Amino acid sequence: MHFRTLFVVLGLGFLYVLGGSSAPLSAQGGGAFHGSSEDPAIAYSTAPLNNVVVDVNRKLLDGTIRLTFEGRSGYLRSALEALELPVDSQVLVFASDSLQRRLINESNPRALYFNDRAMLGWVRDGTVIEVTAHDEREGIVFYTLAQTDDLRDGVPQFRRSFQCLGCHVTGDTLGVAGLLMFSMTRPSDPAASGLPSSTDQNTPLRQRFGGWYVTGSTGSAPHMGNAATALDGRSTREVTSVEGLFDSDSYRARSSDIAALLVLSHQTRMTNLLTRASWEARAVDPTLHPPFVATPDAEASIAAMMSGVANEVVDYLLFIDEAKLTDRVRGSTGFAERFSTVGPRDRKGRSLHELDLNRRLMKYPCSYLIYSAAFDALPPAAKDPIYKRMWQVLSGEERDARYRSALSLEDRRAIVEILRDTKKDLPPYFQNVTR
Please give the chain's pLDDT, 435 residues, in tens: 232 233 333 332 323 222 222 233 333 346 899 999 999 999 999 999 999 999 999 999 999 999 999 999 999 999 999 999 999 999 999 997 777 889 999 999 999 999 999 999 999 999 999 999 999 999 999 999 999 987 766 799 999 998 888 788 999 999 999 999 999 998 766 656 678 899 999 999 999 999 999 999 999 999 999 999 999 999 999 999 999 999 999 999 999 999 999 999 999 999 999 999 999 999 999 999 998 887 888 889 899 999 999 999 999 999 999 999 999 999 999 999 999 999 999 999 999 999 999 999 999 999 999 999 999 999 999 999 999 999 999 999 999 999 999 999 999 999 999 999 999 999 999 999 999
Question: How high is the pLDDT of residue 190?
Answer: 61
Q: How many of the other CB atoms lie within 10 Å of CB of 250?
A: 16
